[in-house]
Amino acid sequence: DTTVFKFYSDGEWKKSTSGKLVSIINPTTRKTQYKVQACTQEEVNKIIEAAKTAQKSWAKTPLWKRAELLHKAAAILKEHRAPIAECLVKEIAKPAKDAVTEVVRSGDLVSYCAEEGVRILGEGKFLVSDSFPGNERTKYCLTSKIPLGVVLAIPPFNYPVNLAVSKIAPALIAGNSIVLKPPTQGAVAALHMVHCFHLAGFPKGLVSCVTGKGSEIGDFLTMHPGVSCISFTGGDTGIAISKKAGMIPLQMELGGKDACIILEDGDLDLAAANIIKGGFSYSGQRCTAVKVILIMESVADTLVEKVKAKVAKLTVGPPEDDCDITPVVTESSANFIEGLVMDAKQKGATFCQEYKREGNLIWPLLLDNVRPDMRIAWEEPFGPVLPVIRINSIEEAIYHSNASNFGLQGCIFTRDINKAILISDAMETGTVQINSAPARGPDHFPFQGLKDSGIGSQGITNSINMMTKIKSTVINLP
């Protein structure tokens, strides 16, 4: 059966001994598209054992050889862009062109990671003792970066390939092994990506991919004593993982409620274009999506009209047709979004378009005059619905942005760079974009969230560093 996929363990494709499968529902047809193995805890144990063994010799493999294999995997990944993109279209309803972009971006990320790893891991430090009071020059300290061991990578449904390789490639170049637990929606795209690493010829057991139900293997994986580091991207589950995980480094990127602040002197055409791109790309299902517009009252009518005109031009339909707005990932997600819309309706928000939904497909919606008592002012819809809150001062904008439990990114539109810097300093977010929508990329930029948006910093360089620890050797002179 071509729709049933095996999991990847110890360099081989296997069926689970559970005999059970997990269904992946196509968000557009709402019918089962693929099935993956429901792995058991015993299978997880075997994968982690193999990963521990493989890591030991991988850590001794010369850095340039590790880089060479990663470059090979990157090239194969790009060659396989079409079939992987097709999975993304079918599993997560990503528009066809964006699906290809995700795979190509992933190949570039893997290559960049190999290059960056060679540079930063090829360097250590040399310290002498007599710079610290009371010491003679009798000790030489040599430091280098060593791997952590087994890295557990858990990417989300919205970038099952890109946010998987953004964890896999830094882990591997740094000499770690990797256990990937893909999201259910996106698991087949992730398995196909893992196949590219298999074709590149990585040693057996170094890269594994375990599929299955979170309820069966989720906690078992994240609390497994064999795991030395967890890199997770997703929602609230990350908070639960961080509470349960042991004394290991954690890299977590969770939700966001990125504000777009527009001042009176902002370029309203530029702001409107960025609101469309930032708020509605992949139907708003990005952690870095613009999730609330904070607009000065004096220019609000003009801005809202400009955004409305652009919303009217968005195409709505199946991902195969490369529509701008495609069905959201699950029915429960669509129901959640609808709940936020109905709450706003009941509390008196102005609907700039009529609310329309067919199955998981929700038409793009701009809600004006949203007030703080509405859920949509604070919660992330992860869908094509965008609230507008009218403000009368910069302080009000900063207050609203900082009152959020999230702190991922934010953006400011103004022609006054001094004001922009002051607002950026005052915003409690990991990144602030001036005159552009929030975004994670380019993928070597640092990427981090404050508060409930995460722990640690990502981006290629930071991820490589995070997946290593410092080892010192001190030479004591006679």
Indicate which residues carry an active-site annotation. 253
Binding track over 86-115 against ligand G3H, x by CB under 6 A: ------------------------------
Residue 462 sits in the site that holds ligand G3H (CB under 6 A): no
Stretch that binds ligand G3H, among 90-98, 286-294, 349-357, 380-388 (CB under 6 A): 286-294
78 binds ligand G3H (CB under 6 A): no
- Restricting to residues 224-253, name those near ligand G3H by CB under 6 A: 253
- Report, in Å, the least distance between residue 106 CB and ligand G3H: 11
Shortest distance in whole angstroms from residue 453 CB to ligand G3H: 10
Interaction of residue 16 with ligand G3H, rule CB under 6 A: no
Rounded to the nearest whole angstrom, what is the least distance from the CB of residue 162 to ligand G3H in the complex? Answer: 8
Binding segment (CB under 6 A) for ligand G3H, from list 281-289, 336-344, 369-377, 381-389: 281-289
Rg value, the chain, Cα: 24
In sequence order, which residues have a C-beta less than 8 Å from that of residue 74 and are 6 or more positions away?
A: 107, 108, 110, 111, 114
Q: Could you say whether residue 440 binds ligand G3H (CB under 6 A)?
A: yes
Choice between 220 and 445, CB closer to ligand G3H = 445
287 contacts ligand G3H (rule: CB under 6 A):
yes
Site string for ligand G3H, 145-184 (x = CB under 6 A): -------------xx-------------------------
Q: Which of residues 195, 286, 310, 390 is near ligand G3H by CB under 6 A? A: 286
Q: How far is the CB of 287 from ligand G3H (least distance, A)?
A: 3
Cβ-contact 77, 70 below 8 angstroms: no
Select from 19, 24, 45, 26 the least CA-distant residue to 36: 24
Stretch of residues binding ligand G3H (CB under 6 A), selected from 77-85, 146-154, 265-273, 282-290: 282-290
Please say which residue, 198 or 257, places its beta carbon nearer to ligand G3H.
257
**110/197 Cα distance (integer angstroms):** 11
Q: Does 441 bind ligand G3H (CB under 6 A)?
A: yes
Paired strand residues for 470: 145
Angle between the N-to-C axes of helices 417-426 and 394-403, in degrees from 0 to 180, rounded to the nearest 10: 30
Q: Which C-beta is closer to ligand G3H: that of 58 or that of 406?
A: 406
Q: Which residue is nearest to ligand G3H (CB)?
A: 287
Work out the number of other CB atoms within 10 angstroms of the CB of residue 109.
25
Go through the chain and tell me how many residues it has.
Answer: 478
Determine if 288 is a binding residue for ligand G3H (CB under 6 A): yes
User: Minimal distance in Å, beta carbon 262 to ligand G3H?
Assistant: 20
What the block records as the tokens of 317 is: 């339909």
- Stretch of 53-61, 128-136, 173-181, 284-292 lying at the interface with ligand G3H (CB under 6 A): 284-292
C-beta closer to ligand G3H: residue 150 or 287:
287
427 touches ligand G3H by CB under 6 A: no
CA-CA distances (angstroms) from residue 269 to 206, 266, 304, 368, 412? Answer: 50, 9, 11, 18, 14
CB of 159 to ligand G3H, least distance (A): 6
Q: Which residues pair with 476 in a beta bridge?
A: 139
Q: At closest approach, how far in Å is the CB of 342 from ligand G3H?
A: 25
Cβ count within 10 A of residue 101: 15
Quick one: which of 367, 439, 464, 467 contacts ligand G3H (CB under 6 A)? 439
Number of residues that bind ligand G3H (CB under 6 A): 9
Least distance to ligand G3H, CB of residue 286, Å: 4
**Residues found near ligand G3H in the complex (CB under 6 A):** 158-159, 253, 286-288, 439-441
